[in-house]
Amino acid sequence: MGFGPDGWGWSMLRAAAMTLSVAIGGYVIGVVLGCIAAAASFSGLVPVRSVAGAYSTVMRGVPDILVIYLFYFGSGQFLAALADLAGHDGFITIPAFVVGILAIGVVSGAYQMQVFRGAVLALNKGEIEAGRACGMGPALLFRRVVMPQALRFAVPGAGNVWQLVLKESALISVIGLVELMRQAQIGAGSTRQPFSFFLTAAALYLLITAASGRIFAWLELRAMRGVRRAA
């Protein structure tokens, strides 16, 4: 596990960077989808609320690896059908990196939806009513009252979702992307030293988790500035 010509150190670090890239990309997509779905869950239109509820239920109830397979093979068939309509033959696939980000993003969005929804429900209803009494429209009320305070309550839950996304990134190895788990498998098979490689992978995962945990703890402290906590 050194960094010399015959060492696997750089390969493991590059794989860790790939894991981090997939996790960050999927997390950002999840935040966007979670915000949209949370807003839809408060809609006055029943079909819109039903779609948001169905999205959350399905994505949280289906195994993550099944979602990854559906995205990988389903996207290939969809693109092949489009190519066939355009007069081109052959099977077209989306890069595994893109599939991984999209699949993780869609799954994490369902969890982010519940985080943001809970944060909005935790707001003081009196402040929202006061904003309406001052003549604020829905957009202005959301921007000045709802969003700043909801983000404050959402930070702890968002940190938990990030840890979940980081672990889900290991599942992307099933579609061929060489991230940390896949690189550990390759190294273990090549050197017949599985314990060393999987132990190194575990250490790198823990390092990323610890560092990101410190970041979210700092964000939570920043978000709760000026808020009196119970003794």
Quick: pLDDT tens for 176-222. 888 999 999 999 998 888 999 999 999 999 999 999 999 999 988 88
**Angle at CA of residue 27, ends 148 and 198, nearest 5°:** 140
Asked whether the beta carbons of 9 and 159 are under 8 A apart, the reply is: no
Rounded-to-integer distance, Cα 163 and Cα 135, Å: 41
Percent of the chain with pLDDT over 90: 52
Mean pLDDT of the chain: 87
Average of per-residue pLDDT across 6-20: 91
For residue 220, the model assigns a pLDDT of 86
For residue 227, the model assigns a pLDDT of 63
Band of residue 76 on the pLDDT scale cut at 50, 70, 90: confident
For residue 53, the model assigns a pLDDT of 93
Band of residue 229 on the pLDDT scale cut at 50, 70, 90: low
Return left, alpha or beta for 192; rule: phi > 0 is left, psi -120 to 50 is alpha, else beta: left
Greater confidence (81 vs 50) lies with: 50
pTM of the predicted structure, to 2 decimals:
0.88
Q: Is the pLDDT of residue 106 over 90?
A: yes
For residue 216, the model assigns a pLDDT of 92
Average of per-residue pLDDT across 43-62: 92
For residue 150, the model assigns a pLDDT of 83
Mapped onto helix, strand or coil, the DSSP state of residue 142 is: helix
- 81-90, 126-135, 175-184, 194-203: which range is least confident on average? 81-90
Asked whether the beta carbons of 102 and 29 are under 8 A apart, the reply is: yes
Most confident of 76-85, 136-145, 152-161, 216-225: 152-161
Count of CB atoms within 10 A of residue 72's CB?
20
Q: Is the pLDDT of residue 165 over 90?
A: yes
Rounded-to-integer distance, Cα 156 and Cα 49, Å: 25
Set out the domains of the chain in order of their start, with CATH numbers.
9-223 (1.10.3720.10)
Average of per-residue pLDDT across 99-109: 94
Q: Which pair of structure tokens corresponds to residue 231?
A: 């003794």
Rounded-to-integer distance, Cα 22 and Cα 176, Å: 13
Greater confidence (218 vs 147) lies with: 218
